[in-house]
């Protein structure tokens, strides 16, 4: 059986899986990044996990030939050299991680930004499967994005295509974003933005004090209880996201827009007002062509996308 090793590195955990040619996970394993998160330690643990995964398959009566590995990393990458230029959450700077993994795994390794790989995973085996132009937005602490055209990632000239979270949508009075600009989409439409707005209302006595807001789920829970202020916070964020996506869609003309992150499960509270705003601001023909769908792969999107990237790179080099 042919298999591809998908790796999704996060600030708190590393997810890995062996994936077949059509995007099905054969076996998976995660481990905590832990305090020792230097690149060498993480790479060795990834190597050990690959051996564990192959052993688990063998114990289940299956064998596989692993042809390559793909790895997603949250940060700025130099893909020409295989160097992680900066991954703030990991504390890595100028790390030659691709060659490090290739030496340990004895496999060809493809490296990519984690948000791009989540988009590739959804386009390959999730909500964007069999679509030509897929625009993905993952709403979490920030807003990650990715573009897949005819089954392949569109990265731009230096890997920055799809960074929709940093579209400047609020030019006047916008909040400072961690990118250094004011008024980026993720400052008004991310889970962080929802929490910040709700906490301000709670401090002003406009939200119940019996439920301290610490995460976006708390705001959605209050909205479910009928709290109009909480609902207004969610609707406002959804409207901003719809507006931001309309700008991206007018440029790309996608046939599907995939929304990931926890908010994607709140269809009535978030996705419906977001889609209404998108349809309001996008050109009519652009909006008619673009179906808005919730992501379907959840936490598996990154490892499936990583495995798919490895498969594409090996095939193109054959």
Q: What pLDDT shows up at residue 178?
A: 85
Q: Which of 113, 140, 168 is the last residue of a domain?
A: 113
- Whether residue 122 is contained in a domain is answered as no
Q: Interior CA angle at 258 toward 156 and 125, to 5°?
A: 90
Query: Do 28 and 171 fall within a single domain?
Result: no
Same domain? For 7 and 79 the reply is yes
Per-residue b or e along 20-32, where b marks 16 or more CB atoms closer than 10 Å to that residue's CB = eeebebbbbeeee
* Contact yes or no for 97/70 (Cβ under 8 A): no
Q: Is residue 143 part of a domain?
A: yes
**Percent over 70 (pLDDT), the chain:** 100
Domain extent, residue 173, equals 127-296
Cα–Cα distance list, 48 to 51, 72, 96, 116, 310 (Å): 5, 18, 19, 26, 19
Phi, psi of 205 (to 5 degrees): 80, 15
Claim to verify: residue 94 and residue 62 sit in the same structural domain = yes
pLDDT score, position 160: 87
Residue bearing the bigger pLDDT, 11 or 144: 144
SS3 call for 24? coil
Instruction: State the pLDDT at residue 147.
Output: 97
Strand ranges in the chain using DSSP code E only, listed in sequence order: 2-9, 13-19, 25-32, 65-73, 76-78, 83-87, 92-95, 109-113, 133-139, 143-149, 152-153, 256-260, 291-294
Of 111 and 266, the one with more pLDDT: 111
In what side-by-side order are the strands of the sheet with 291-294? 152-153, 143-149, 133-139, 256-260, 291-294
Higher pLDDT, 83 or 63: 83
DSSP one-letter string for 117-139: HHHHHHHHHSTTTT-SEEEEEEE
d(CA 66, CA 20): 9
Q: Are 103 and 139 within one domain? A: no
pLDDT digit string, tens, across residues 161-196: 999 999 999 999 999 998 899 999 999 999 999 999
pLDDT (tens digit per residue) in 115-128: 999 999 999 999 99
Which tokens sit at 74?
């949250």
| Residue 118 counted as domain residue | no
Instruction: Give the lowest-confidence range in 30-39, 137-146, 152-161.
Output: 30-39
What value does the mean pLDDT take over residues 280-300? 96
Confirm whether 304 is domain-assigned: no
Asked whether residue 64 is assigned to any structural domain, the reply reads yes
Least confident segment among 40-44, 103-107, 128-132, 178-182: 178-182
What b-and-e string marks burial along 179-199, b requiring 16 or more CB atoms within 10 Å of the CB? eeeebbbbbbbbbbbbbebbb
Give yes or no for residue 318 having a pLDDT over 70.
no
> What's the number of domains the chain is made of?
2
DSSP 248-292: HHHHH--SEEEEESGGGG-IIIIIHHHHHHHHHHS-HHHHHH-EE
- Which of 79, 113, 147 is the last residue in one of the domains? 113
Say what the pLDDT of residue 85 is. Answer: 93
Domain's final residue, options 85, 113, 141? 113
**Does the residue 195 lie in any domain?**
yes
Is the pLDDT at 277 greater than 60? The verdict is: yes
Could you give the CA distance from residue 16 to residue 19 in angstroms, rounded to a whole number? 10
Q: What is the CATH number of the domain that holds 288?
A: 3.30.420.40
Evaluate whether residue 120 is within a structural domain: no
Residue 12's pLDDT band (cuts 50, 70, 90): confident
Q: Are residues 207 and 290 in the same domain?
A: yes
Residues 140 and 94 in one domain: no
Same domain, 103 and 153: no
Looking at the domain assignment, is residue 318 inside a domain? no
At 256, the pLDDT band (50, 70, 90 cuts) reads very high
One domain for residues 95 and 213: no
Are residues 56 and 108 located together in one domain of the fold? yes
| Residue 136 sits in the same domain as residue 228 | yes
pLDDT band at residue 141 under the 50/70/90 scheme: confident
Check whether residue 145 and residue 272 sit in a common domain.
yes
Distances (CA, A) of 288 to 21, 84, 245, 255, 278: 33, 39, 14, 9, 11
Gap between the Cα atoms of 160 and 168, Å rounded: 15
Residues 135 and 270 in one domain: yes
């Amino acid at each position: 059986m042919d298999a591809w090793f998908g790796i999704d590195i996060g600030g708190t955990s590393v997810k890995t899986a062996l994936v077949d040619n059509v995007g099905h996970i054969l076996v998976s394993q995660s481990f905590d990044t832990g305090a020792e998160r230097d690149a060498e330690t993480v790479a060795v643990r990834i190597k050990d996990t690959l051996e564990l995964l192959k052993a688990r398959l063998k114990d289940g009566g299956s064998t596989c030939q692993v042809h390559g590995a793909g790895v997603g990393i949250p940060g700025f990458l130099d893909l020409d050299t295989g160097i992680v230029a900066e991954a703030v959450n990991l504390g890595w700077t100028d790390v030659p991680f691709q060659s490090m993994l290739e030496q340990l795994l004895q496999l060809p390794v493809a490296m990519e930004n984690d948000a791009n790989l989540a988009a590739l995973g959804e386009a390959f085996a999730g909500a964007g499967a069999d679509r030509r132009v897929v625009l993905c937005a993952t709403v979490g602490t920030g807003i990650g994005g990715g573009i897949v055209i005819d089954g392949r990632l569109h990265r731009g000239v230096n890997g920055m295509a799809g960074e929709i979270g940093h579209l400047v949508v609020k030019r006047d009075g916008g909040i400072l974003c961690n990118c250094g600009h004011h008024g980026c989409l993720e400052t008004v439409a991310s889970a962080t933005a929802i929490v910040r707005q709700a906490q301000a209302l709670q401090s002003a006595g406009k939200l119940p004090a019996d439920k301290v807001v610490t995460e976006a789920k708390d705001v959605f829970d209050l909205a479910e209880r009928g709290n109009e202020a909480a609902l207004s916070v969610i609707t406002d964020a959804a409207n901003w996201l719809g507006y931001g996506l309309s700008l991206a869609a007018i440029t790309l003309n996608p046939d599907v827009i995939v929304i990931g992150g926890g908010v994607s499960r709140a269809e009535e509270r978030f996705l419906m007002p977001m889609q209404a705003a998108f349809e309001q601001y996008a050109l009519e023909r652009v909006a008619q062509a673009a179906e808005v769908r919730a992501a379907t792969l959840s936490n598996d999107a990154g490892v499936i996308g990583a495995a798919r990237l490895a498969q594409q790179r090996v095939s193109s080099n054959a």
